[in-house]
Structure 1
């Protein structure tokens, strides 16, 4: 039988003339299995693969023991690393299977697509043309785009030029076969197809179908495909001359998108192909391998050649037999990890249901649709909530590839990798939360690294609120490593070869180029968090210069809180903050001087914004430490407190704001509230200010704004009204006296004020209003609750005292007189 099989393969190879064109669907497990079988049968002398030729030098790394897909070829312009492209490969990608087959059999591998140097330049031209800009001519202009783009879907190619639409060949073939779902047709036609007796026959059928599509739709109206195919033909001719045809031994096998097979089989003239390549722009490009993820292979991620279910396709490629049974077993394992009750009986029943659905739907085998329907009905009890978990973890998946250490990389990437290993902070594709205790050396170093990367624009981690705690020594991050971050690292490489050097240079450059004071203030805080002592002097000089020139109180107020926060809490990291203290106190002094006139004559939006500034400055001044132990502030009082220090001057500012009629009501109300919370209002002064603000001569809208400033927000405003019945009575009396015509204008302001309270506070406040504040704050009204009087009946309440004394076991009092029955006690 072995001799017979060898004779059949020899006959098949002898029947082939010219290159062996294996048209595939990118990231298709059926195509991958077919490519492996075809290569085993044909045994070519060289394998040509659709991809950038600059990657020929990187092919050997695909056989490295540390290389694990999914991975991608990353190409970026040397002068502009942000102009980049990816060529992703998964374990079930036909190109990856062809590479591994060639390396395993000692066969040369070469890439034949348009070089990345041209692709990047052409992409920049197209981007400029789409933006309505002039078409870039020189190479350096052609590479000047920002951001990244991914390699185009070379198999799902363009539509008719006349219609300007992209045509999906798989969708067209599925529609011709009577399917409304291209993925379902692909599974039935390819994935569920048994092993063919002739391994080359399926590719001949695909080539025939694509030839008909190309005759119908042409090149799709995109000249880039024409240029790419011309270059592939030239590379194919060169390889054919070197390795000959299959009939002569060896031969050439080409693995490319099925759409390109008719173009590669055509007999185009060499001169015509060279003419298409003439004048194509070019940039200097570098290539390397980078890890990729299944999520980035998904179509929802924006990748042009993406698939809907990379995790499912990976399972189909890896499962040796019984793919449905093995898949549903994975589903059961995942649900058990999430504490859902799933037994082996559930798996058995789900498999039976999936197979029954396949028979009812006329499918050769159960596919993804049937397994999902079966899992929803049997394992998820009809709920889509656990099904979403299955989709996220298994159908899409969170696999992250690995790349050997000796793969080419920019120096900054190598330093980052060393730091990640030293800190035991492994990049992961799955989003996870990280809590750091800054008192621990390793956690503090992790925090420093993440802050430095954030400063460089490498968003590996995002700060979060984290678990509830009152300490300032904790940080919480949400980490998620995306392949695009490799491009960000390459971009940041222009600032330095290490993370520390690059972050320092980036901070210094940002400080020099910053135009707003708040930008420099935020940068100073970032430098402190990222532990950049060399950059801090440059940033502090820029901060002092901007603060001296900026006269806008709003800008000063925005800049102050960040400085105050770090002056109060920065010592957790052991950073010297003396220089920041001087700048912060100078800013606070200027705010105290300029705030009262800046609050006059503001409209509603400006007043609301200024109210936020007042809150921020109040908090910041409370955090600012004294100028020094025993240091005199210039007026005989200590700079950190007392009536003469900065807090005393700020209290005087708030007093001016609270009593000045030209200041908007929301700011006057907020100033009065801050004074009340700080214990700087005399007894009854808050009620006097509220009475003035709510007097009949005050327009209802202004009065509502004052109330919003005084008790608005979540900072205890509701509880203040609950416990101070006198203030509540003033509000209640004012509210009931608003004219009917003015009430609709006041209602939105009041709703915004009181809706911010916690539900329990609103409920308590409503109960107090219902029964009416005590102490004679307002006239008693008849209760609307049956059986209850408007107030407390003291005589009847006293009647229960003897009984309570008896129940508590205390000395029994004298028996009550007969009058006690009528509410009188003896």
Structure 2
């Protein structure tokens, strides 16, 4: 067998050059490339004449696992060059790796995950040996700047990288399968050459495995029974390829390497200096001619100092930073490590990284087959008049607008860009019957087209694909009530009524084992709203939804009665859960099996216990009042304990029964006024934060009504609205007064303040004659 193995680093111009020259020299019978074997029969589609970067998007879905991955190619990818040069040489082309859905790729979002990321110990030792920061800098130093004669150096590098380490089971499975293709191609080619292009980590193993064994062509694995899988070509972008954006197997700065591939290192450095300067000037950053001269001088100096015959990527970047950044840097330069660009990087550094990353977007040939979803979505949006740019207002009570709304929500659930909802109902209980969207049908960068292709893995139509995504989200949510409630509402908005019952069933199954009262409250609020109101979305009076309401309400009450604890800040999520239970008891008890008497008993018992958190006691009292309990509210308010717990108790009351404060007889308001007025300064400052939180349950109009009641009760005239507008933040004023009081006490303790003398606290106090008479936490 005349087999030539070429180990490469994916997306390396130096490796692409080696592949190109080898194929042109050997003109092989077969070119075998690491890539998904199940796409091998579609080489004609892959080589239609696309403008890279592009990717093969592969998907797989069964009852247990959902997997998506990308095999990406840019103009300088060795695999892309191998396929195109092989076609020019008349070779047979084959992808020889396992399909992307295979368990060997579990956990990988990209097929080309470079081996040095998994076998970092050797790479780190090499970096120390050559005194460089990371493998990217090492790679440039060894190969990219001087690619002549790189073949032997590459062999030594990958052999060292592989070393004696035992490959994982996933690598073993892949290498065994690829070796079958190599043996079969070698036997079929006879004396004619065969070129094999794979990741360099696999080369040593393939050379050994291909030396012996059967020579039959291997079968292409198919997805197991009951699963779906396949692949499509999608446009890709340099931003998705860039390691600085978190790409799993990319070399950083793809625009730099594209320029390097096209014109060499000197041309790449010159073009990208211009790109960096242009970006900085567009953002109003001053870059003078002297700065450019300094950058060039420093880059040339670093190039010579580091022993490079031409500027490497980091020579260019370090030279630019030295010349253009005069500030102290708060973090390491991003090219000294691998991974995504960290938040807070210097603006000039961000622009340098962006310039070297580039903004190129691939383009597929017009004849490229697309999944049915692409065509269905285009036809559906055109039929509904949604294939345009600009704002759209939809009346959900109008059948055609409801249909348009569902189509847009299906796009949203599938994460297809180009349609943003600006306003609309937020829950099933939301009385809003109008939606506002902003559409952007034009797709100059191909983002929408790419997303539709990738969403085609879920189904052939918008309705089926959205339903499949909802199913996936249900499976992922497990017993998480919050996530299930979100999915339920999305199912209603998408018009997936058949999924609604399944999701409600999942919520019902999780209720009995859930101890998260807040999450149960979210689920109850969502389901109750859809059960009560949603004739528009088609879920009103659903029997299954009714069962969920019954079980959620009972579970929340059971959990609430078991809560114990001392003083603590009001738990708003817990209070919202009890408010949702109140709504269920008030609005659904006549139709559903909800026991108001039993709920009233729970409310009385919780409200009377002293070992229950104050906000929960207040909420229980409020729930009892809402259900018709005749207990004296004024007496309950007086018994709400001292300044440390008073505000939290009120928060619970207001969350469940704020109408008690707004009652025209003014009993509760009068008691509140007396209690707050009787607090001394220290007590008032202690109570103030919780009191303000409690009164936040009242919307502005109701707060104004409370202020009017206070003025009327005291026989004062004035503007209630003005009373709510403090000249400074109340908490800030309170903190200032507390500080002044501490200063007074310190001065008195030091003998610097005579008895009866007014200290700074008094001098800074309000000139009002009676401070207590004017306190208003609202």
Distance 1:556 1:99 in 2: 56
Alignment partner, residue 564 of structure 2? 603
Alignment partner, residue 501 of structure 1? 464
User: Are residues 100 and 734 of structure 1, via their aligned partners in 2, closer, same or farther at CA, if it must alter by over 3 Å?
Assistant: same
Alignment partner, residue 354 of structure 2? 393
Match of 1:367 among 298, 301, 312: 312
Alignment partner, residue 615 of structure 2? 666
**1:394 CA displacement:** 3.6
**1:87 CA displacement:** 3.0
Alignment partner, residue 815 of structure 1? none
Match of 1:692 among 635, 639, 650: 639
Alignment partner, residue 31 of structure 1? 15
Match of 2:261 among 317, 332, 357: 317
SS of the aligned residue for 2:310 comes to coil
Stretch of structure 1 that moved more, 414-423 or 463-472:
463-472
Distance 1:514 1:181 in 2: 41
User: Are residues 766 and 25 of structure 1, via their aligned partners in 2, closer, same or farther at CA, if it must alter by over 3 Å?
Assistant: closer
Distance 1:655 1:48 in 2: 73
User: Are residues 75 and 600 of structure 1, via their aligned partners in 2, closer, same or farther at CA, if it must alter by over 3 Å?
Assistant: closer
Match of 1:330 among 275, 285, 289: 275
Distance 1:328 1:81 in 2: 46
Alignment partner, residue 102 of structure 1? 86
User: Are residues 618 and 761 of structure 1, via their aligned partners in 2, closer, same or farther at CA, if it must alter by over 3 Å?
Assistant: farther
Greater Cα radius of gyration, structure 1 or 2: 1
Distance 2:768 2:46 in 1: 86
**1:500 CA displacement:** 0.9
**1:326 CA displacement:** 1.1
Stretch of structure 1 that moved more, 176-185 or 408-417:
408-417
Q: Deviations over 1:415-469 (max 9, x none)?
A: 457668989999xxxxxxx9975569999878645643676xx555799997999
Distance 2:132 2:484 in 1: 60
Alignment partner, residue 452 of structure 1? 410
- 1:64 paired with 2:45, answer no
Structure 1: 5+ residue stretches without partners: 1-16, 125-144, 160-164, 427-433, 628-632, 640-645, 738-746, 773-779, 795-826
Stretch of structure 1 that moved more, 39-48 or 657-666:
657-666
SS of the aligned residue for 1:99 comes to helix
Matches within 5 A, 1:28-427: 28-66=12-50, 68-72=52-56, 74=58, 76=60, 82-83=66-67, 86-103=70-87, 105=88, 107-111=90-94, 113-116=96-99, 121=102, 123=104, 150-151=110-111, 153=113, 156=116, 167-168=122-123, 177=130, 179=132, 181-193=134-146, 196=148, 201-207=149-155, 210=158, 213=160, 217-218=163-164, 220-222=166-168, 228-229=174-175, 232=178, 235-236=181-182, 238-240=184-186, 242-243=188-189, 251-262=193-204, 269-271=211-213, 286-299=230-243, 305-319=249-263, 322-342=267-287, 346-382=291-327, 384-387=345-348, 389-390=350-351, 393-396=354-357, 399-403=360-364, 411-412=372-373, 415=376
- 1:579 paired with 2:524, answer no
Alignment partner, residue 803 of structure 1? none
Stretch of structure 1 that moved more, 725-734 or 467-476:
467-476
Distance 1:590 1:229 in 2: 53
Distance 1:424 1:69 in 2: 32
Matches within 5 A, 1:455-474: 458=414, 473-474=435-436
User: Are residues 20 and 608 of structure 1, via their aligned partners in 2, closer, same or farther at CA, if it must alter by over 3 Å?
Assistant: same
RMSD: 6.4
Match of 2:683 among 729, 735, 741: 735
Give yes or no for contact 1:505–1:535 (8 Å, CA) kept in 2.
no
SS of the aligned residue for 2:196 comes to strand
Alignment partner, residue 819 of structure 1? none
Alignment partner, residue 530 of structure 1? 494
**1:96 CA displacement:** 0.7
- 1:761 paired with 2:737, answer no
Q: Deviations over 1:339-365 (max 9, x none)?
A: 444466644543333223333444333
**1:406 CA displacement:** 5.9
SS of the aligned residue for 1:579 comes to coil
Distance 1:673 1:360 in 2: 77
Distance 2:587 2:675 in 1: 35
SS of the aligned residue for 2:90 comes to coil
User: Are residues 753 and 362 of structure 1, via their aligned partners in 2, closer, same or farther at CA, if it must alter by over 3 Å?
Assistant: farther
Give yes or no for contact 2:187–2:215 (8 Å, CA) kept in 1.
no
Give yes or no for contact 1:47–1:107 (8 Å, CA) kept in 2.
no
Distance 1:510 1:224 in 2: 28
Alignment partner, residue 706 of structure 1? 649
User: Are residues 331 and 34 of structure 1, via their aligned partners in 2, closer, same or farther at CA, if it must alter by over 3 Å?
Assistant: same
User: Are residues 74 and 756 of structure 1, via their aligned partners in 2, closer, same or farther at CA, if it must alter by over 3 Å?
Assistant: farther
Give yes or no for contact 1:565–1:620 (8 Å, CA) kept in 2.
no
Distance 1:510 1:87 in 2: 25
Distance 1:509 1:261 in 2: 38
User: Are residues 507 and 48 of structure 1, via their aligned partners in 2, closer, same or farther at CA, if it must alter by over 3 Å?
Assistant: closer
Distance 2:355 2:675 in 1: 59
Q: Deviations over 1:610-657 (max 9, x none)?
A: 863444564897899999xxxxx99xxxx9xxxxxx9x99x9999969
Q: TM-score, normalised by structure 2?
A: 0.64
Give yes or no for contact 1:53–1:110 (8 Å, CA) kept in 2.
no
Distance 1:367 1:694 in 2: 72
User: Are residues 206 and 609 of structure 1, via their aligned partners in 2, closer, same or farther at CA, if it must alter by over 3 Å?
Assistant: same
Alignment partner, residue 760 of structure 2? 784
Q: Deviations over 1:459-496 (max 9, x none)?
A: 55799997999987347999998989977753x34xxx
Distance 1:369 1:756 in 2: 57
Q: Deviations over 1:753-774 (max 9, x none)?
A: 87999992312444677999xx
Distance 1:58 1:280 in 2: 13
Structure 2: 5+ residue stretches without partners: 330-344, 427-431, 441-445, 659-667, 697-727, 742-755, 771-778
Stretch of structure 1 that moved more, 556-565 or 52-61:
556-565
SS of the aligned residue for 1:371 comes to helix
